[in-house]
Amino acid sequence: MTDTDTSAPPRIVLTKPKRGGGSNPTTAYSGLLNTVREAGLLERRVGFYVLMFAGITAALVGLGIGFVALGDSWFQLLIAAGLGIIFTQFAFLAHEASHRQVFESGKANDIAGRTLANLFVGISYSWWMTKHSRHHANPNVMARTRTSSATSSPSPPRTPLARRGSTAGSRATRATRSSPS
C-alpha cells in the first residue's frame, strides 16, 4: 500500500455568499449598460453592413471566377470551402437583419433578412424565424427549442442504464456518445 491509499478524504467546507459589502450585479450591469450607451456602441452602423455585404459579394464573385478558371480540377474543393465561409457570412448578415440590427425600419430588415436567407444562403427565412423565435422565447430550455423530427434518433435516456455486468458503465457512455443531438 502507498501513502495515498490510506490518507483521509479531502475535507469539504460549505460556504455561504457574503452579505453586504458586495455590489449588486443588477446595479453593476445597469452602470455598464449606461456607459456602453453613452459611448454610442449600441447605435446602428448601416455603413458597416453595406461594406460587409459588398465585401462578401466581391468574394463570392471572385470565387465564381476562380471556379470557372479552374475548370475540372480537385482544386475545386478549395473553392467549395471558400463558398462555405462566404455563405455562412451571408447567414450572419441575415441573422443581424432578423434581429433588427441593420436598418431603422422593421420592414427593411425583414426584406434584407428574407433576401439574404432565401436567395444567398438557401434556407427558408420563415422556417428559420419560427425556430429562432422559439429559441428566444425559451432560451436554454431544450424541450421547447429542440428541432427534432420523426426521422431523427431519440435522445439518450436521462437516467443511468441498469447495471448488469462489467460493461454497464460503458454502455451508458456509448449511448450518450452516439446520440446525434
Instruction: Give φ, ψ of 158 to 5 degrees.
Output: -85, -15
Examine residue 16 and state whether it is found in any structural domain, yes or no.
no
Classify residue 170: in a domain, yes or no.
no
Instruction: Report if residue 129 sits inside a domain.
Output: yes
4 falls within a domain: no
pLDDT > 90: percent of the chain: 44
Higher pLDDT, 136 or 47: 47
Residue 158 lies in a domain: no
More confident call, 19 vs 160:
19
pLDDT at 168 over 60: no
Q: How confident is the model over 46-67, as a mean pLDDT?
A: 96
Q: Would 2 be classed as within a structural domain?
A: no
- pLDDT for res 174: 46
pLDDT at 129 > cutoff 60: yes
Q: Which domain holds residue 93?
A: 25-145
Say which residue, 8 or 55, is predicted with more confidence. 55
At 176 the pLDDT is 46
Domain count, the chain: 1
160 compared with 46, residue with greater pLDDT: 46
- Within 10 angstroms of residue 109's Cβ, the number of other Cβ atoms is 19
Q: Between 47 and 180, name the one with better pLDDT.
A: 47
Question: Between 151 and 122, whose confidence is greater?
Answer: 122
CB-based contact 56:86 (threshold 8 Å): yes
- Hunting for cell 422556417 — which residue is that? 127
Digit-coded pLDDT (tens) for 64-93: 999 999 999 999 999 999 999 999 999 999
One-character DSSP codes across the chain:
--HHHHSPPPPP----PPPSSSPPHHHHHHHHHHHHHHTTTTS--HHHHHHHHHHHHHHHHHHHHHHHHH-SSTTHHHHHHHHHHHHHHHHHHHHHHHTT-S-SSHHHHHHHHHHIIIIII-S-HHHHHHHHHHHHHSTT-HHHH----TTSPPPPPSSPPPP-STTHHHHHHHHHHT---
Q: Is the pLDDT of residue 96 over 80?
A: yes
| Residue 98 covered by a domain | yes
d(CA 84, CA 9): 52
Residue 38: inside a domain: yes
What tens digit of pLDDT does each residue of 33-42 get?
A: 999 999 998 8
Determine the pLDDT at residue 2.
57
pTM score over 0.75: no
154 pLDDT higher than 90: no
How crowded is the C-beta side of 136, counted as CA atoms within 13 Å? Answer: 9
Looking at residue 88, its pLDDT comes to 96
164 or 135, which is more confident?
135
Q: How far is CA 131 from the centre of its chain?
A: 13
